[in-house]
Amino acid sequence: MSGTGLIEASYFLAAVLFILGLKRMSSPVTARGGIVWAGAGMVLATLATFFWPGMSNYGLMVVAIALGGAVAWWTGKRVAMTDMPQMIALYNGMGGGAAAAIAAVELFRGGEHPLSVVTLAVAGALIGTVAFSGSLVAFAKLQGLMKRSVRFPMQQVVNLAVLALAVVLGGMALFVHSPPMLIVFFLLALAFGVLMTLPIGGADMPVVISLYNALTGLAVGFEGFVLNNAAMIIAGTVVGASGTLLTQLMAKAMNRPLTNVLFSGFGETAAEAAGEVKGSLKPIDATDAGIMLAYANKVIIVPGYGMAVAQAQHKIWELAQLLEERGVEVKFAIHPVAGRMPGHMNVLLAEAGVPYDKIFDLEEINAEFPTADVALVIGANDVVNPDARNNPDSPIYGMPILDVDKAKNVIVIKRGQGRGFSGIENALFYADNTRMLYGDAQEVATKLIQAVKEL
């Protein structure tokens, strides 16, 4: 087999590892192995590229890989689980930026290329650049660097004009090689990514991250065709397809079309549309809550972003184990959009060592809430708001929720009396069967553990 044949065979094997790795990531039991498999495929594809005919700049390649690998290793080890969504947004943006950079090199270089190749290069440049700048804005929002969404009059018209002009210049680039025009094209694409993400509320960030992940994969796949690189084509296609499916699933879990997520400004306007909830908040102390939990037959725990912020997952699992030792049946209920990224709560619970067979999604657990003596909600908000089921005037009406309000008793651990990330008041907190347990989730969990031990 020739050298090129060995490289292509390596790319094929890498692609198989990508696909098998992704398949294994579909289950928590095999997800860790799936990541290792996909990582091995990436290492193989990278090593094979060093032997590509005509390849040069080996020194720069080694330095870039060493620097990038060192930064990724250091940040990956240090990042807190609460910061994982913004790290994913940032890394995803880097992928889109890399695809755009590849396109920029090919487009600025010029030369004779088939029209189809140039078309894919331009499309990949546009999509990758939008994913890059949009992901950076998403990172800034999740990191707290941007405190609120930005809106201005005729914003969608301006956005459409910027996109249309970028598309026109991209179309001209198919036939005219003009570096100044290409610079304006990339600047417009960067601007559109920023403008599209600025008005999106924080509550919609899980969907936005999934969307940009899909765009990054698509851009990488396009540039794979430009470079005639099979590994990039397959990897980009797999990422683009899975990201698109995940985006659709996330939007479905919120019962909102993707256009509504991107263009409605839900995160800033929902509070105004929701109105006020009648009733009063009824507090409870940790001792009484501990007694209620300890003497229950079934407890369903619903984690949310409040658990992530407090890094309380280990204490919550310790509490669950104590309850099980007393004969209490304990289950965990996860909503698809709980937290700040897809699977956020699943990752936190897995880190704490919660067995996979105790974690249930919305469809599996909802029928059990009426038989639960206590539903313990930890920092979750919109995903347990009964207005989504009962109030046609609510902005989240029709959104599938966890039926926490149907439990015999509800205890909500919350840092304060403020509204959730989307700004909507939660009717669950005012229900007759709900008691509010205020405080940092980790501190509260510690008090609950002590209360149960003293019984």
Tokens 């996330």 correspond to: 250
pLDDT for 3 equals 62
pLDDT for 26 equals 74
pLDDT for 277 equals 58
Separation CA 129–CA 134 (nearest Å): 8
What six digits make up the tokens of 118? Answer: 């140039």
Task: Return the half-sphere exposure (C-beta side, CA atoms, 13 A cut-off) of residue 43.
Answer: 8
What six digits make up the tokens of 129? Answer: 């650049």
Pairing of strands 359-361, 298-303: unpaired
pLDDT tens-place values along the chain, 455 residues long = 556 788 888 888 988 898 898 888 877 778 888 889 989 998 998 888 888 877 788 888 899 999 998 998 898 888 876 677 888 888 889 999 999 999 999 899 877 778 888 999 999 999 999 999 999 998 888 887 887 777 778 888 898 999 999 999 999 998 888 999 999 999 999 999 999 888 887 667 778 888 899 999 999 999 998 888 888 888 898 889 888 888 888 777 777 777 766 665 544 444 444 455 566 789 999 999 999 999 999 999 999 888 888 889 999 999 999 999 999 999 999 988 887 777 788 888 888 889 988 999 888 999 999 999 999 999 888 889 998 888 888 777 888 889 999 999 999 998 866 555 556 788 899 999 999 999 999 999 999 999 999 88
Measure Cα distances from 207 to 233, 244, 255, 338, 407 in Å.
Answer: 24, 10, 12, 11, 29
What ranges in 254-354 are assigned the alpha helix state H?
258-263, 266-274, 286-294, 305-310, 313-325, 344-352
Question: Which of 370, 440, 361 is CA-nearest to residue 409?
Answer: 370
Spell out the residues 6+ positions from residue 64 whose beta carbon is closer than 8 angstroms to its own.
Answer: none
Separation CA 211–CA 348 (nearest Å): 23
For residue range 398-442, what is the model confidence (pLDDT) as tens digits?
A: 888 899 999 999 999 988 665 555 567 888 999 999 999 999 999
What six digits make up the tokens of 328? Answer: 């209490």
Q: Which secondary structure element, helix H or strand E, spans residue 61, and what is its range?
A: helix 58-78
For the chain, domains (ranges, CATH) are 3-269 (no CATH), 276-453 (3.40.50.1220)
pLDDT for 319 equals 95
Q: Which secondary structure element, helix H or strand E, spans residue 125, and what is its range?
A: helix 115-143
Question: Which of 51, 236, 205, 39 is CA-nearest to residue 135?
Answer: 205
pLDDT for 163 equals 93
Separation CA 455–CA 452 (nearest Å): 5
Separation CA 433–CA 374 (nearest Å): 10
Task: Return the half-sphere exposure (C-beta side, CA atoms, 13 A cut-off) of residue 178.
Answer: 12
Is 204 one of the annotated active-site residues of the chain? no
For residue range 33-51, what is the model confidence (pLDDT) as tens digits?
A: 888 998 999 899 888 888 8
Which of 288, 373, 382, 387 is an active site residue?
A: 382
pLDDT for 267 equals 47
pLDDT for 422 equals 55
Q: What is the pTM of this model?
A: 0.79
Separation CA 411–CA 444 (nearest Å): 12
Please answer whether residues 300 and 408 qualify as being in contact, where contact means their C-beta atoms are separated by less than 8 angstroms.
no
Separation CA 85–CA 73 (nearest Å): 17
Partners of 410 in beta bridges: 375, 434
Q: Which secondary structure element, helix H or strand E, spans residue 223, and what is its range?
A: helix 205-227
Partners of 334 in beta bridges: 361
pLDDT for 102 equals 92
